[in-house]
Structure 1
Amino acid sequence: MSETTGKIPFTHDGVTYETWYKVVGDLSTKNRPLVTLHGGPGISHHYMLPHTSFATSHHTPVIFYDQIGIGQSSHLKDVPPEFWTIELFMDELDNLLIYLGIRDDFDLVGHSWGAMLGAHYAAYRRPAGLKHLILVSGSASMKLWAEGTNRLLDGMPEDLREMLKKHEREGTTDSKEYHDGTQIFYNKHVCPLVPWPELLLKSFANMFEDPTVYSTMIGPSEFNITGSLRTWSVVDKLHDITAPTLVINGQDDEAHDVGNWPFFAQIPRVKWVKFAQSAHMTFFEEPERYKEVVGEFLTNV
């Protein structure tokens, strides 16, 4: 299977940055490409690479890219916090689609933050070329995301909860104790596999190396949302999504049902599949079922 990588010029507010991308497969064929949106924001594309399998099984070109601020794309550690907006990332996605010549015919799969970006993009930009939208382990608003993660946190040991809250109250969330405590939560509700897959570790390592985007837009953890996305919501615009949509989450997913319900209730053409043996990483935890469910949706809907 052929692979092409490169960097795309991306101009924002008069300054040109670079978006790194990889195409697996041949865009010159008539097969509709699948564009992947990674999570975070600020966690690199590597953990999304299991989607490469669709290039083989469905002869679908698959496109990966590092959103600006992470991985092999331009890093910007000194820009003001207000630089990082969802409009920035939608503009970057549009720029990618235009550069690759696929804006008129493409499918989109977003995971976690990528699902939020994908839903926002589909609802506000309403791209005519978007034929299938797949929202994996996302949420329709950050308020609902936080409500869900805090419900899950209530099910964790009391001493762990109290330790985490203490650090949040005292502003010491950069301590090792707080980091180790969040990892306990992540090992249950993000990825319970032991050890974590190497691709997932690589994506997190990129985030730890440059946490600028994550810390600015999310905050110190998945359940303590203090960043600029804390008020984000697409709930009131979901009815404007015209593409057939597949919603996926796991039984133990940090992307709780409470955040996914608006997708199912308000997107006009939607299907929701819940994975009984998964947390947040369905494509690692139940890979064969994931490929079957997504492949059937892309082929038959």
Structure 2
Amino acid sequence: MPTVTTRTIPFRSWQTWVRITEPDEARAGALPLIVLHGGPGMAHNYVRNLGELADTGRTVIHYDQLGCGNSTHLPDAPDEFWNPQLFVDEFTNLVAELGLSDYHLLGQSWGGMLGAEIATRRPAGLRSLAICNSPASMALWAEGAAELRAELPDDVQETLTRHELTGAITHPDYLRAADVFYERHVCRTVPTPDDFQESVAQMEAEPTVYHTMNGPNEFHVVGTLRSWSVIDRLDLIEAPTLVAAGEFDEATAGTWQPFVDHIPTVTSHVFPDASHCVHLEHPQAFRAVIGDFLARHDS
């Protein structure tokens, strides 16, 4: 069985919580994988099953980003504090504190956006990047969400719009209508996996990061990330990159196509009968694709 240890590492005057899964038998040449969770603000729990990639002989490193999960929370920080550079700096600090010279990077949803931000800085140790279920800009994300929302039943669309116009986005009817979107395009597994529910519960208990950077939900993006884009910097990425998404993903094909168009060394993979949380819906198939990609770029 793999060995799991946890620790905290200092980041400025705060603490980043880290979970390290080490294989029973390390495979020669297998580089560690760092996993970036999404949200922003969803903590590591819902991507925890990627630790099973340790069964392939490599170490897997999860961490809770600042403001999330077991890391330091800063509910009183001003809105402008929460920006991509903060999380790039936290990642750079983590790599240095863990003494990693070479590593792979996988980001899911916001984690993939952050992974792209990191990769444009061309860190010396980055050997590959997996961008999973992520948009290249929030404008494209909003367009994709609008397209998917237009496919919802008329009564669901009407309920969403009516409550958004009045600001009643915590009304039970609004939340039930939003769940229709989530069940189609965020996680199609029924019942919703415990790991996902844990991340949601943590985010709802202290929603500073999610509400500030994103907004109240996945398709009503009014936070500080609403104008974010990495498209004009994608040609700076040197690391071989895999772009992965689900057939019914809220990150629609149009949102991630710029990664394929502009990253110099890139491949893509769409998982059938899957949405935004492919790793929870089809965990074995997802880990197989990711594992093969990582193995090809270990050297």
Q: Same fold judged by TM-score > 0.5?
A: yes
Instruction: State the match for 1:86 in structure 2.
Output: 84
- Confirm or deny: 8 A CA contact 2:246 2:273 kept in the other structure: yes
> Match of 1:112, as an amino acid?
S
How far did 1:95 drift? 0.7
Q: Percent identity?
A: 44
Instruction: State the match for 1:288 in structure 2.
Output: 284
TM-score (norm: length of structure 1): 0.95
Instruction: State the match for 1:300 in structure 2.
Output: 296
Instruction: State the match for 1:105 in structure 2.
Output: 102
2:228 maps to which of 221, 232, 241: 232
Alignment of 1:255-274 (within 5 A): 255-274=251-270
- Residue 24 (1) aligns with residue 27 (2): no
Instruction: State the match for 2:37 in structure 1.
Output: 38
1:198 maps to which of 194, 200, 203: 194
> Match of 2:93, as an amino acid?
N
- Residue 48 (1) aligns with residue 47 (2): yes
* Alpha-carbon distance in 1 for matches of 2:44, 2:283: 17
Alignment of 1:145-294 (within 5 A): 145-294=141-290
How far did 1:30 drift? 5.5
Instruction: State the match for 1:118 in structure 2.
Output: 115
- Confirm or deny: 8 A CA contact 1:38 1:110 kept in the other structure: yes
CA RMSD of aligned residues (A): 1.4
* Alpha-carbon distance in 2 for matches of 1:162, 1:244: 44
* Alpha-carbon distance in 2 for matches of 1:20, 1:217: 21
Superimposed CA distance per residue, residues 90-139 of structure 1 (whole angstroms, 9 cap, x where no aligned partner): 0000111000001x20100000000001011111x211210010000000
> Match of 1:46, as an amino acid?
N
How far did 1:176 drift? 2.0
Any unmatched runs of 5+ in structure 2? Answer: none
Any unmatched runs of 5+ in structure 1? Answer: none
Instruction: State the match for 2:5 in structure 1.
Output: 4
How far did 1:286 drift? 1.6
TM-score (norm: length of structure 2): 0.95
Secondary structure of the residue aligned to 1:231 is: coil
How far did 1:227 drift? 0.3
